[in-house]
């Protein structure tokens, strides 16, 4: 099921308690959603813009949009069916052959290699996936969200930084 994933940049880790605290401070969800999803809170409409004429924020069974806290034991690259060719953030080199590297990148998203365009040390977490994929260790995941039907507001990222001391990013994931 497609989702919108908010995460600390560069696959930084956050303790689960911090994810719970952040979600509560932003009114994004109810109590700790262990192990599943909880309906989104009133803060969702304050921090996200709905795009399109009639976004359907329910799943096929009619279940409403929910929040899931994600914690991985190691960095995990999520590049689904909606993923696009990533670029180097420094020189904008396009990795047109990215699918050939995907297995290696998934095995070690933080393993570095030089950019063929500029020589900058890169890893899958530092690539510009244009909000269509990303590497995470900790995240706030909103399910179901079709890619592009919801956009986080810039004020949300300022609050996330204030609450966590880290920069955050987002991407849409369609498995």
* Extents of the domains making up the chain: 1-74+148-175, 85-129
Tokens of 19: 């994810």
Tokens of 7: 């995460």
Give the model's pLDDT for residue 82.
93
Q: Which residues of 15-49 are buried (b: 16+ CB within 10 A; e: fewer)?
A: eeebbbebbbebebbeeebeeebbebbebbeebbe
The whole model's pTM is what? 0.90
pLDDT digits (tens, 9 = 90+) for 80-105: 999 999 999 999 999 999 999 999 99
Q: How far is Cα of residue 41 from the mean position of the Cα atoms in its chain?
A: 19
Query: How do the pLDDT tens digits run along the chain, 175 residues long?
Result: 899 999 999 888 999 889 999 999 999 986 665 667 888 888 999 999 988 765 666 656 667 789 999 999 999 999 999 999 999 999 999 999 999 999 999 999 999 999 999 999 999 999 999 999 999 999 999 999 988 889 999 999 999 999 999 999 999 999 9
């Amino acid at each position: 099921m497609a989702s919108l994933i908010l995460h600390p940049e560069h696959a930084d880790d956050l303790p689960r308690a911090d994810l719970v605290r952040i979600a509560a401070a932003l009114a994004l969800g109810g109590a700790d959603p262990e192990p599943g999803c909880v309906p989104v809170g009133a803060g969702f409409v304050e921090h996200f813009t709905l795009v399109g004429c009639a976004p359907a924020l329910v799943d096929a069974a009619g279940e409403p949009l929910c929040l899931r806290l994600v914690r991985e034991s190691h960095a995990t690259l999520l590049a689904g069916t909606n993923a696009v060719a990533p670029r180097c953030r420094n020189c904008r080199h396009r990795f047109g052959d990215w699918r050939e590297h995907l297995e290696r990148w998934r095995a070690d998203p933080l393993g570095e290699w030089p950019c063929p365009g500029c020589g900058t040390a890169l890893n899958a977490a530092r690539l510009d996936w244009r909000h269509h994929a990303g590497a995470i260790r900790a995240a706030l995941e909103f399910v179901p969200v079709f890619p592009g039907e919801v956009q986080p507001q810039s004020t949300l990222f300022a609050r996330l930084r204030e609450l966590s001391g880290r920069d955050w990013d987002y991407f849409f994931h369609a498995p």
